[in-house]
Amino acid sequence: MNDNPPPSAIPPQPRRILITGASSGIGQQAALLLRRAGHQLCLPCRDQARADATRQALLKGSGGDADLDTPLCDLADLESIERCTEELLTAAEPIDCLVLNAGLQDSGASEPRRSAQGHELTIAVNHLGHQALAMRLLPLLERSETPRLVITASEVHDPTSSGGRVGPPAGLGNLAGLRAGAGFSMVDGHTPFSADKAYKDSKLCNLLFARELERQLRGRGRAMPVLAWSPGLVIPRNSGGFFRSSRQHNEWGQRLFALVARDLLRLTASPERAGALLAELATAPAYAAPGFSYHVNRVLAPGRLRFELSEPSPEARNDALAAELWTVSAQLLGSSAQA
């Protein structure tokens, strides 16, 4: 695949970087690069088995583990987030870059699964858990001399994008489902449950959250880079699918899709390339300017991708909706979002 040229070298100045979703995929590839470059990593993991496996993968062929921390933090459980962040706040080490990268998609699921607090699982992990984590860890981020926040979104948040046009489009309505609290199936509160739409909605929430957080920080005189990005369609070479979930739906359909998109049409990015882009977003001086920005790994032609600055969808640029989503989500999170 002829991706755009490799990213510039990661600066040698060590930074303390927290990355969610580093136990596999893009997050793990970014963590491997960042560790090799000498950065100090905090990689929250859902359970001890994942933490052990993540440490093993990152420590392979390297020296000591003083610069690697793998605390337990289940983004589907607000109490777990509270425990993890309380430990980090007690340790009081500044966070130079907070990378909200973990993502869940239950492709083909016919019924919603629930978080520990009863919220629809896709929104709970991809949006609510990340907002709780970010709100609680802001004091550590603000202690950094060069703070930065990166959030992995997706072009599917935009109904006019190639992925966004397939299946039901993203759309949050007036947040009626989220306002109703635990037990909601969809954020808009009226469309039938769709795992595909739930994922798209969660990516729309990511962008609205990122824009509102940047606005609030700027209003407090604490402006910093808040970078949202879309890695494109990422399918590993040895994989038959691209959805990371604890359940597999329509496995053969996923394998066929992977074959066509990756091998025939050549529309995908490799996890290694996407991980390199994420590592650069977290560290490169090119992304150090304060303010919100959105970057897309866009397909130009079969086998050709270009990473470029872009604009989110009109709904993702709705300031009133961004503020309302923040408020409603914070109310749902309650004490879990208070440092």
Residue by residue, DSSP assigns 144-199 as SSS-EEEEE--GGGSTTSTTTTSSSPP--TT-HHHHH-TT-SSTTSSSPP-HHHHH
Tell me how far apart the alpha carbons of residues 76 and 128 are, in angstroms, rounded to a whole number. Answer: 9
**Stretch (H or E) spanning 325:** helix 319-333
Tell me how far apart the alpha carbons of residues 275 and 29 are, in angstroms, rounded to a whole number. Answer: 5
Domain that holds residue 108: 16-337
Number of domains composing the chain: 1
Please, are residues 66 and 109 in contact by the beta-carbon 8 Å criterion? no
Residue 215 lies in a domain: yes
Residue 7 lies in a domain: no
Residue 275 lies in a domain: yes
**Torsion, CA 331, CA 128, CA 131, CA 247, rounded to 10:** 170
The pTM (predicted TM-score) of the whole model is 0.89
User: SS in 3 state form for 53-120?
Assistant: HHHHHHHCCCCCCCCEECCECCCCCHHHHHHHHHHHHHHCCCCCEEEECCCCCCCCCCCCCECCCCCE
- Output the pLDDT for position 245: 46
- Output the pLDDT for position 211: 98
Tokens linked to 27: 């997050």
- Output the pLDDT for position 305: 72
- How does strand 304-310 pair with strand 291-301? antiparallel
Residue 6 lies in a domain: no
Residue 253 lies in a domain: yes
Beta bridge partners of 293: 227
**Stretch (H or E) spanning 295:** strand 291-301
- Output the pLDDT for position 263: 40
- Output the pLDDT for position 250: 52
Residue 4 lies in a domain: no
Residue 107 lies in a domain: yes
Tokens linked to 81: 């987030």
pLDDT in tens, the chain (339 residues): 445 544 454 445 899 999 999 999 999 999 999 999 999 999 999 999 999 999 999 998 666 677 899 999 999 999 999 999 999 999 999 999 999 999 998 877 889 999 999 999 999 999 999 999 999 999 999 999 999 999 999 999 999 998 889 899 999 999 999 999 999 999 999 999 999 999 999 999 999 999 999 999 999 999 999 999 999 875 665 544 334 444 444 554 455 444 444 444 444 568 888 999 999 999 999 999 999 999 998 865 556 678 999 999 999 999 999 999 999 999 999 977 776
- Output the pLDDT for position 238: 56
Residue 2 lies in a domain: no
- Output the pLDDT for position 271: 85
- Output the pLDDT for position 261: 42
Q: What angle do CA 18, 200, 253 make, to 5 degrees?
A: 105
CATH number at residue 330: 3.40.50.720
